[in-house]
Amino acid sequence: MFLTISTTGDKTNPATDMGFLLHKHPDSPFSAPLSYGTAHVLYPEADAERCTAALLLEVDAVALVRRGKGKGRGGAPDTALAQYVNDRPYAASSLLAVALSRVFSSAMRGVCKARPELPGQPLPLRVEVPALPARGGPALVGRLFEPLGWTVTADPVALDTEFPDWGDSRYVRLVLESDTLTLAQALRHLYVLLPVLDDAKHYWVSSDEVDKLLRAGEGWLPGHPEQQLITSRYLARRWSLTRQALERLELVRLAETDDSDVEEMDNAVAADTGDEEKPTPLAVRRREAIVAALAASGATRVLDLGCGQGQLVQELLRHPAYSEIVGVDVSMRALTIASRRLGLDRMGERQASRVKLLQGSLSYTDKRLKGYDAAVLSEVIEHLDLPRLPALEYAVFGAARPRTVVVTTPNVEYNVRWESLPAGHARHGDHRFEWTREEFRAWAAKVAERHGYDVGFVPVGPDDPEVGPPTQMAVFVTGETKDRKEAKAA
Ligand code: SAH
């Protein structure tokens, strides 16, 4: 099993400086025993112009079997021979990734005491892995490495060059090139993505694998377009761990997105209302509409799901009708601001007993959210990737199941009326989609049907004759709620 890392340089920045970064001297070969074999580091070439470090991993197939780790590798699992005779000594896999992290641990962390200025500098890099099992084929290899700044060559390896008719094997020869990455970044990409491509973890996946993944993924995994596939495969498709990791990645991503322009657009005047007076900001109108819908529902215990910085929670607290108001958000930063806005730490006991802020992700069912009268999703659904929306739908309408659900979202048709919004742009950088009235109605009707709710629609903001209102609102009520109301009225 083999991997090379090469760089180029000149007299002032010799390529051999890579030796400092790797903590391995180009003139002296290095070997380290591992539980399943031996790792060697050697330099096939090392001068000022070019320097190549090779990691050679000798896998001891017998030791692997003895340690009970030889199973689960392709083929018939219970054939005794397959445990010994397989691709493991040759194909780059999680074993190679583990070896990388052992022999280059300081380099991976970007630590270099001898030359502290080196780790932060991008290098011209070329990585070659002659035999990489690539489940998902060359196309997936590209989707994994290209977003990280690599130029990728993934040539399929023929099953047998003597018999071209047999076609390609499932291995590729991988070459990665970049001059924008540091060596530490490159090593972390390999450490995570080699086992992802192999897609067969050979060792027990314990919960500290989540920490390892997030540490190695720092700075590139949150927001990677294949984040979900990477996470799930890295964690050997163990769903509970994958879920943990995805939740933590979501927190990182949200902590990094700046919500300031949400407020800006919201506070913008909903285009020409024809009013002489100073028009009301859209965010205020939206809260008024939500408060009215909640009042009509008769709810006293309400959830504000995706409460953000707590403006609606604050508004609801002013109405004594609400005995319990719970704000939920995935972003710790938003909750901290909300808590400050509400003055939670200065609040009297009675007032404090009415309000709670919880951190949680709405794309997972959550027992804490069961049994409430009403839930609000104000400008939240558009922050989820469309494929995650059914998960939120189930968590809210299927599992938490409040009697009333109020959902608001931008009406994309209205965007042409925002003067400051360039054509074709969403209102906020973090909006994953914005819907027309028809799209929203179609979604809401399906949700209502699937979960036994009735749904009605309310425009929020000036209802433009052509493009409709800036915000669209749906109010869902369960059949039971309606019956009860009718009974009351009768
Ligand atoms: N409801 C507020 C905030 C809307 S901004 C308002 O109307 O002003 C969207 C909010 O949804 C953000 O605070 C974001 O952190 C939160 N959010 C996005 N995805 C989420 C998820 N999966 N689970 C919980 N909250 C989420």
pLDDT digits (tens, 9 = 90+) for 417-449: 876 676 777 777 678 899 999 999 999 999 999
Domain co-membership, 335 together with 199:
no
Residues 164 and 299 placed together within one structural domain of the fold: no
Whether residue 374 is contained in a domain is answered as yes
Quote the pLDDT of residue 8: 97
* Average model confidence (pLDDT) across the chain: 86
Q: 129 and 278: one domain?
A: no
Ligand 1 neighbour 408 (Cβ under 6 A): no
Tell whether the model's pLDDT for residue 9 goes beyond 50: yes
Ligand 1: nearest atom to the Cα of 376: 1
Higher pLDDT, 239 or 215: 215
Q: Are residues 471 and 378 part of one domain? A: yes
Q: How far is the CA of 358 from the centre of ligand 1 (A)?
A: 12
The token pair that represents 29 in the structure block: 């070969």
Tell me what pLDDT residue 200 has.
Answer: 74
User: What pLDDT score does 258 carry?
Assistant: 43
Regarding the beta carbon of 383 and ligand 1, being less than 6 Å apart is answered yes
| pLDDT tens-digit map of 35-58 | 878 999 999 999 999 999 999 998
CA distances to 65, 264, 412, 413, 419 from 269, rounded to whole Å, are 69, 10, 16, 17, 10
Same domain, 28 and 160: yes
Check residue 198 and give its pLDDT: 87
Q: Give 490's DSSP letter.
A: -
To test ligand 1's pocket by mutation, which of 365, 380, 432 has the most ligand atoms within 8 angstroms of CB? 380
Query: Domain total for the chain?
Result: 2
Q: Which residue has the higher pLDDT, 255 or 412?
A: 412
Average pLDDT over residues 406-412: 96
Chain CA centroid to CA 121, Å: 27
Cα 314 to ligand 1 centre (Å): 16
Q: What is the predicted pLDDT for the residue at 60?
A: 78
Grade residue 22 by pLDDT with cuts at 50, 70 and 90: very high
Q: Is residue 327 part of a domain?
A: yes
**196 and 267 share a domain?**
no
C-beta of 154 in contact with ligand 1 (< 6 A)? no
**One domain, residues 375 and 481:** yes
Do 424 and 329 share a structural domain? yes
Residues of the domain holding 157: 2-203
| CA–centroid distance, residue 450 to ligand 1 (Å) | 24
Same domain, 195 and 266: no
- End-to-end, the C-alpha distance of the chain in Å comes to 79
147, pLDDT greater than 70:
yes
Q: Is the pLDDT of residue 310 over 90?
A: yes
Q: Is 306 in the pocket of ligand 1 (CB under 6 A)?
A: yes
How far apart CA 460 and CA 209 sit, in angstroms, is 47
Q: Which amino acid is at 274?
A: G
- Residue 308 CB less than 6 A away from ligand 1: yes
Give the residue from 35, 39, 29 showing the smallest Cα distance to 1.
39
Q: Which of 264, 329, 364, 388 to mutate to test the pocket of ligand 1 (most atoms within 8 A of CB)?
A: 329
pLDDT at 85: 61
> Mean pLDDT throughout 401-420?
90
Give yes or no: residues 134 and 275 share one domain. Answer: no
CATH number of the domain where residue 156 is located: 3.30.1610.20
Do 306 and 389 lie in one domain? The reply is yes
pLDDT, mean of residues 188-216: 83
Q: Is the pLDDT of residue 484 over 80?
A: no
Q: 163 vs 91, 158, 160, 166, 172, CA distance in Å?
A: 21, 9, 5, 6, 17
DSSP 93: -
What is the rounded CA–CA span in Å between residue 421 and residue 424?
A: 8
Q: Is the CB of 334 under 6 A from ligand 1?
A: yes
**How, if at all, do strands 2-8 and 125-133 pair?**
antiparallel
Q: Please tell me which of 244-248, 368-372, 412-416 the model is most confident about, judged by mean pLDDT.
A: 368-372
What atom of ligand 1 comes closest to residue 250's alpha carbon? 22
388 or 265, greater pLDDT: 388
28 vs 24: CA distance, rounded Å: 8
Looking at per-residue pLDDT, the higher value among 202 and 228 belongs to 228
The residue from 203, 236, 271 where one domain ends is: 203
In a domain, 208, yes or no: no
Mean pLDDT to the nearest integer, 363-373: 94
C-beta of 363 in contact with ligand 1 (< 6 A):
yes
The reply to whether 44 falls in a domain is yes
Q: Which of 339, 361, 383 to mutate to test the pocket of ligand 1 (most atoms within 8 A of CB)?
A: 383
Residue 478 has pLDDT above 80, yes or no: yes
pLDDT, average across residues 374-380: 97
User: How far, in Å, from the CA of 113 to the mean position of ligand 1?
Assistant: 43
User: What is the reported pLDDT for 435?
Assistant: 96
3-state secondary structure of 74: coil
From the CB of 329, is ligand 1 less than 6 Å away?
yes
DSSP labels, 107-130: HHHT--SS-TTSTTS---EEEEEE
Atom of ligand 1 nearest to the CA of 308: 13
Same domain, yes or no: 161 and 272: no
Does any domain span residue 253? no
Q: Both tokens of residue 260?
A: 């300031």
Output the pLDDT for position 197: 92
Average the pLDDT over 314-343 and give the result: 92
More confident site: 187 or 341? 187
* The pLDDT value given to residue 82: 61
Q: Which two tokens stand for residue 258?
A: 């700046």
213 Cα to the center of ligand 1, angstroms: 26
Percentage of the residues of the chain whose pLDDT score is greater than 90: 56
For residue 51, count other CB atoms closer than 10 A to its CB: 23
Categorise residue 326: left if φ over 0, alpha if ψ from -120 to 50, beta otherwise.
beta
Q: Is the CB of 478 under 6 A from ligand 1?
A: no
Q: How high is the pLDDT of residue 276?
A: 40
Q: Is the pLDDT of residue 247 over 80?
A: no
* pLDDT value of position 267: 45
Question: How far apart (Å, rounded) are the C-alpha atoms in residues 344 and 355?
Answer: 9
DSSP bridge partners of 29: none
* Cβ neighbourhood burial of 113 (10 Å; 0-12, 13-18, 19+): exposed
- Indicate whether residue 24 lines ligand 1 (CB < 6 A): no
477 beta partners: 404, 454
221 occurs within a structural domain: no
Mean pLDDT of 67-92: 55
For residue 134, is it within any domain? yes
Q: Is 307 in the pocket of ligand 1 (CB under 6 A)?
A: yes
Q: Which of 163, 180, 203 is the last residue of a domain?
A: 203
Tens of pLDDT, residue by residue over 99-124, are: 999 999 999 999 998 898 999 999 99
469 domain residue, yes or no: yes
Among the ranges given (79-88, 149-158, 461-470), the one the predictor scored with the smallest mean pLDDT: 79-88
For ligand 1, whether the C-beta of 384 sits within 6 Å is yes
Say yes or no to pLDDT of 485 above 70: no
The CATH number for 458's domain is 3.40.50.150
Q: Can you read off the two tokens belonging to residue 180? A: 């924008």
Chosen domain end from 203, 225, 246: 203
The pLDDT of residue 280 is above 60: yes
Instruction: Report the pLDDT averaged over residues 361-381.
Output: 95
Task: Indicate whether 390 pLDDT > 90.
Answer: yes
